[in-house]
Chain A
Amino acid sequence: MLCIKNLTTEFPTRKGSVRAVEDVSLSLERGQIMGLVGESGCGKSVTLLSILRLVARPGRIISGSIHFEGRDILSMTPAEVRRVRGANIAMVFQDPLTTLNPVFRVGEQIRESLRVHRIGAGRASRREEKETVLSLMKEVGIPSPESQYWQYPHEFSGGMQQRALIAIALACRPKLLLADEPTTALDVTIQAQILDLLSRINSERGTAILFVTHDLAVASEFCHRISVMYAGRIVEQGPVDEVIADPLHPYTEGLLRSIPRFVKPRRRLSPIPGNVPDLIGLTDRCSFESRCDRRMPECTERPVFLVDVGGGRHVRCILYE
């Protein structure tokens, strides 16, 4: 359904251009949940924004293709992209408080996303729209929607705000939901509720979800497949259980070793040494090399590519070429 090939997104800066996303390829089937995992600044959010061509200037997509149901989003006209946004592909953002517009009532913000895509095609009456909004609010678990409809975002709790945002996203029954760390800004208990809601939406409505998170533990519970990103590139991809049980890329391995729940009891946690490299002037060589405990002289000598290692798994490391 969604097929991204060799996507590269660049941000020109004074010191040189930064490739926030480089050569990213991934595909997502109907009804599937794909996790996009990586540290902050690794390009996962930019990948998401690129799909809807929402990357803010001066950033721009410089190459690749994004096919959604057979059409390349990158070659659409702006009007065509707008018809996809919200209607077929909807987005849930990280911080619900700043994502809801503070000056409009919550219910009206949900209703707006209905209105946007009903222009021309027999507009529903205001009352019908409101009914739809109320049932949406109910579906995402906002109690007493009738009275909450007229509230302002700041009068909502964080969890309720995120539910309202999900209602906005679901309004036009999109086939694909792009979720950008939807639980990061929330308390742990609320996080679980929101994840629960998202997986219910996935199973009941059959909505595919591309789920961006920095939390491998969350991804391991929630996703069908995961892609691990590092410094703008995908380094490993595969069914979630297999990747967790048998990580191929040293970075994935390192990530797992640094998270308590994936480490056997009474074994030491071992954080990955060093820092994420400067994204300016990255070459086509392995970007993890300087932090890798399995590096070889060869790593800096030739480019690495994402290779298919069978079983639906891909990895970008010289060890597997």
Chain B
Amino acid sequence: MSDNEAPDTPRKGELSRRDLLVKAGAVGVGAIAAGSVAGGAGAATRRSFATPKIRYGGRIIWALEQDPVHVAPYGAILTANHWGKQAAYDSLVEWDKDLNLKPALATSWTIAPDQKSITFNLRKGVKFHNGKELDGDDVKYSVEKMLNPPLPGSITTVSQVPGFLGVDVLSKYVVRLNLKTRDARVFGFLAWGRYSPIVPAGLYDQINVARNAIGTGPYRMVGFNPNDRVEYLANQSFWKKGQPYMDAMTLKTLPDEQARIAALRAGAIDGATVSSDGANALKSDGNLVVLKGGTAAFRELQFTIKGDPKPWHDVRVRQAVNFAINRQAIIDTVYNGNGNYSGIVPPGYGPWPLTQAELKTKHQKFDLTKAKALMAAAGQSKGFSVKLSTFSTPLDFQQVASVIKSQLKAINIDVEIVAQEPGTFAANNGTGNFEWDLTARGMRGDVDGYLGEYNPSNTIYQRWYPLYKNVKVWRAIGNGKITLDPAKRSPIYKQAQLLLQNDLPQLGLVQVNKYQVVNKRVQGMYVAFDDFNTGLRNSVWLSS
């Protein structure tokens, strides 16, 4: 059973939304902070009774399980890029640990009455690592690059950017961000930070952005060696007084988990992400502390609904699959009993997802009888065979697929597992060249990121399920995207999720825990919901 706090999000979420509305009221007329705020804790947080006095100094060595490849600020698709560059850059706004919106390089903002532009007031006196002061020109340059990232960035990330048109510099510290249309996703996108760091104007001409960074963040990058490490030193003139806590940070690339485990044991590194089996093996080590938390990376079964008629084009078959899969068994067998049920919006993503209670008792309840009845109603009692494609690494994808395969035997579905190397899988996935897919989703800046793909104008829709039609869903998604008021937005998305949980063009499975193991001298680290190592830059200090 999971002792992750994520299932109880609604309470926390409501609290933070209220906080936010209060803040919004303080900002001014029509200035309701965009509804893309996700409140609620993803990570398990424990209150300590006495806050220990923070000790400054020291160098932390953290191991990354994937090489950042490059640390360019824009156009990077890999999460690992942000792991590498995160400590050096800030965005206009940021999330706190619970994904609440907070000012960062912008201290306040006003949303225009027509909601097609936002005026930001920049924080004064912020210095980039090269000494230059932050002003409007830098923001303008940054947004231009967001919309057209040069190499090594990929222009495909522009699809992640909400419809920005550009930035007008109104004065040294005031800028106006112009939008194509009303868009509730803006603040989430900016707070996520991954695609929206603020860099000094002209950065791409000044340094090799693939290997270096100049930002405003708490640590300044000394250099990045591919397949080796990223080196950071403290930024003494960081705009948050009293930070950073440490002198230096080294992010070492160690893709092999056994190497990370060995290094943790030996004290050669101070922390790293490990698998649940790895965490299990390390939990008895007295020098190490195991941290865990949920992230947005839930596992999902994807169907293609297109072309020649297939048994699962009938919604009852998909529903049967849903009820025939015992998610708790997957959690127990593959993930050592740690994990949550997940719909298409992962648990812990603010107030948006359906609750665990709802999922477990109703929408995703394991019910073989019901499944069989549904198959019979659809005329599929004899069953059928289907190919399920998934990643060949990491291994848990195949493990989950194996469990599903054995579970679906009970309703006579013969699953053939096709494990593909990531390149092939990605190619097929992108073009919709698969029958069923087992994959993982990831973080989004805004909840629309999980639902937009059911919209007929979206490429995924066209490639995967062009035969799926539900006008109510489409309307809900369209409305949700332009409703900035979170109070009004929430019911729209709840309704959309309920509809989609019934139609099941994609089937949410489980949300897995992420485990990070740290040396006991590391204080203030937590498993961040957005899958970054945000603690390292914001809250971590070393007790020895």
Do A and B assemble together? Answer: no
Residues of B within 8 A of A (CB): none
Residues of A within 8 A of B (CB): none
